Structure 1
Amino acid sequence: MKTIKGPALFLAQFAGDEAPFNSWADITRWAADCGYKGVQVPSWDGRLIDLEQASSSKDYCDEFKGIAAEAGVEVTELSTHLQGQLVAVHPAYDEAFDGFAAPEVRGNPKARQLWAVDQVKKALMASRLMGIKNHATFSGALCWPYMYPWPQRPAGLVETAFDELAARWQPLLDFADECDVNLCYEIHPGEDLHDGVTFEMFLERVNNHSRANMLYDPSHYILQCLDYLDNIDIYKDRIKMFHVKDAEFNPTGRQGVYGGYQGWVDRAGRFRSLGDGQVDFGAVFSKLSAMDFDGWAVVEWECCLKHPEDGAREGAQFVTDHIIRVTEKAFDDFADGGTDAAMNRKMLGLEN
């Protein structure tokens, strides 16, 4: 067994134009002051990282990591959630997602998709130069508008969507292998990879690629009424990253999983700060520790009620309290009477 590393913080929800959230040096010092030992970096945010330089300059990467180390934190992983989303976009979402892309490719879906692929490649190269083995991303979605089977889906529609999704990601998975980095897809509503079944459909089409792995976040399973603990048992060999995020699902006679188009405060399913929701993190940390999870516990703060800075500080302590320092010996070693092969045979009544 291995002791999970942490706590770490995903910086995407905190980066901003005001100090200390507008520069790499300041935000890492702030994270360390909150009690974090690591930070996960949104590679699209130029206030924190220059992805172009990071993908090509070992000196830049060493300096980048050095600034974090001086502040007291480690760079745990890079993320291309926004760029990965743009690897596959159904036309219904063109305008909604266009703002994720660089200005020069907006309004041009083909150019935007090529830009997104290039961005993921650059983040993988940067991960290699930084010595980071896992990378967080989204799969994007071609089939999501047809998630509910009404009107009846034409035969082959889903299969065609997943064939195309796999074709777009296969070269990136091969490139990730060249970089010795795992691509960890956050299993998330809005993505074609939104549960275990869809992940398996994708995995089959990329020939069970060893670099196609999962970012496990139980909050997204709470909102789907999916068994988030059984999910760990099923996919333990593919779970390489972990977002520690809480959620609650309180259905009523008026709304359930779909939320009735309400905002986050008024939905039956809501993201909450750590400890304020329904995830059994004691069980989650126990299962991940028992399965030899060799990664970081990364807080992703999303809450419709609590202030983010309060959520961040409380989250650091919450994770610290839940990380299990795994034992190096069995609790009943004191009662070991010592045995050998002959005694084992005697105890089984196998002696002549």
Structure 2
Amino acid sequence: MKTIKGPALFLAQYASDEPPFDTLDAIAGWAASLGFKAVQIPSWDTRLIDLERAAREPDYCREIKATLARHGLSISELSCHLQGQLVAAHPTYDSLFDGFAPAHLHGDPHARQAWAVEQLMLAARASANLGLTAVGTFSGALLWPFLYPWPQRPPGLVEEGFTELARRWRPILDAYEAAGVDLCFEIHPGEDLHDGATFERFLAAVDHHPRCHILYDPSHLLLQQLDYLGFLDRYRERIRMFHVKDAEFTPSASQGVYGGYASWAERAGRFRSLGDGQVDFKAIFSKFAQYDFEGWAVLEWECALKHPEQGAREGARFIAEHIIFVTDRAFDDFADARTDCHANRTLLGLAPLAPHAGARHE
């Protein structure tokens, strides 16, 4: 069995123009001081990484790794969540998603999509240069406005949506295959891949592509009232990344899964800092140990109440305390009788095997 790696920290919610969060070197020192062993880097944040240089210059990648190594850190993965969102964006959300792309692309969804695809291609090559094995992303969404079937969806709408989604992602997945890197879709509301059923639809549409995988974040599953432990059992062979994020769901007479348009602090379902929510992380870490998960346990901080720095400090300790250092021997080895085949047959009341008795006769 394998021991999960961690704790690691996703930097997206921490990077800013204020020190120590404004450069990779400074934020790495801060993260290391809290006990983190790795960082997950948002590939769109130029304060932390130049994605184009990382894709084209191995020497630059060595500089990044050396910067982190000075603080005892490594890179868990790159994130391309914002770029992935733009691969497939319904026109309803065009103006809202403009902020995910450079200013010169605003108002031009076709150019924005082309930029997003190129960014994902760069991330595949950059990950290979950095010695990484996985990239996290969103799938984007063409069908999200039609999630609830009222008004009734016309026949073929869902099928056409997934056919188009697969058409857009297939060349990207092929590029990740060429780079030897897994592409992990975070199962997330607002994406066409938001639960197990939609992931299965997409996986079938891309012919079970060997690089199509899952970023597992139980908080999004709990808020949908989905069996997040059963999800891990069912899709464990496709889960290659793990965001450790907590959440709570407390429905009332006035509010449920949909939230009633309330703010995050007032929703029935809301994200919480690690240990403050309802996710059963003891069970999750046990399953990852049982299933030989080789990746990182990465803290993604999102909380409607707690300050992010407190969330990071407590989260590093929380993950470290939940990591199961897997055993290298059975607990009852002390009672091993060291029997052999002859002794086993005797215990079963069977006669000794004749020489070559196991051979097949023609």
TM-score tier, shorter chain, comes to over 0.9
2:26 aligned counterpart, secondary structure: helix
| Partner residue, 1:118 | 118
Deviates more, 1:335-344 or 1:260-269: 335-344
Cα displacement (A) at 1:262 = 0.5
Q: Distance in 1 between matches of 2:216 and 2:226?
A: 13
| Partner residue, 1:214 | 214
Deviates more, 1:301-310 or 1:64-73: 64-73
1:275 aligned counterpart, secondary structure: coil
Cα displacement (A) at 1:217 = 0.4
CA deviations on 1:172-219 (whole Å, 9 max, x unpaired) are: 111000000000000000000000000000000111011000000000
Mapping 1:316-335, distance limit 5 Å: 316-335=316-335
Q: Distance in 1 between matches of 2:344 and 2:96?
A: 68
| Partner residue, 1:191 | 191
2:100 aligned counterpart, secondary structure: coil
| Partner residue, 2:58 | 58
The TM-score with structure 2 as length reference comes to: 0.96
Q: Distance in 2 between matches of 1:157 and 1:231?
A: 26
Q: Residue 52 of structure 1 aligns to which amino acid in structure 2?
A: E
Q: Residue 204 of structure 2 aligns to which amino acid in structure 1?
A: E
Q: Distance in 2 between matches of 1:238 and 1:52?
A: 28
Cα displacement (A) at 1:104 = 1.7
1:97 aligned counterpart, secondary structure: helix
| Partner residue, 1:279 | 279
CA deviations on 1:243-283 (whole Å, 9 max, x unpaired) are: 00000000000000000000100000000000000001000
CA deviations on 1:214-254 (whole Å, 9 max, x unpaired) are: 00000001100000000111001000000000000000000
| Partner residue, 1:133 | 133
| Partner residue, 1:270 | 270
Q: Distance in 1 between matches of 2:346 and 2:149?
A: 63
| Partner residue, 1:252 | 252
Q: Say which one has the larger Rg.
A: 2
| Partner residue, 1:304 | 304
Q: Distance in 2 between matches of 1:84 and 1:183?
A: 10
| Partner residue, 2:153 | 153
Q: Distance in 2 between matches of 1:24 and 1:9?
A: 13
Q: Distance in 2 between matches of 1:97 and 1:249?
A: 28
The TM-score with structure 1 as length reference comes to: 0.99
Cα displacement (A) at 1:345 = 2.0
Q: Distance in 2 between matches of 1:97 and 1:46?
A: 19
Q: Distance in 2 between matches of 1:239 and 1:63?
A: 30
Cα displacement (A) at 1:350 = 2.4
CA deviations on 1:130-155 (whole Å, 9 max, x unpaired) are: 01001111100000000001111000
Task: Tell me the percent identity.
Answer: 63
CA deviations on 1:99-152 (whole Å, 9 max, x unpaired) are: 101112111111111000000011111000001001111100000000001111
Q: Distance in 2 between matches of 1:130 and 1:189?
A: 30
| Partner residue, 2:358 | none
Q: Distance in 2 between matches of 1:289 and 1:215?
A: 17
Q: Distance in 2 between matches of 1:50 and 1:151?
A: 45
1:312 aligned counterpart, secondary structure: helix
1:237 aligned counterpart, secondary structure: helix
| Partner residue, 1:313 | 313
1:99 aligned counterpart, secondary structure: helix
| Partner residue, 2:33 | 33
Count residues in correspondence: 352
1:247 aligned counterpart, secondary structure: strand
Aligned pair 1:232/2:243, yes or no? no
| Consecutive aligned runs of 4 or more in structure 1 exceeding 6 Å deviation | none
RMSD of Structure 2 on Structure 1 (CA): 0.7
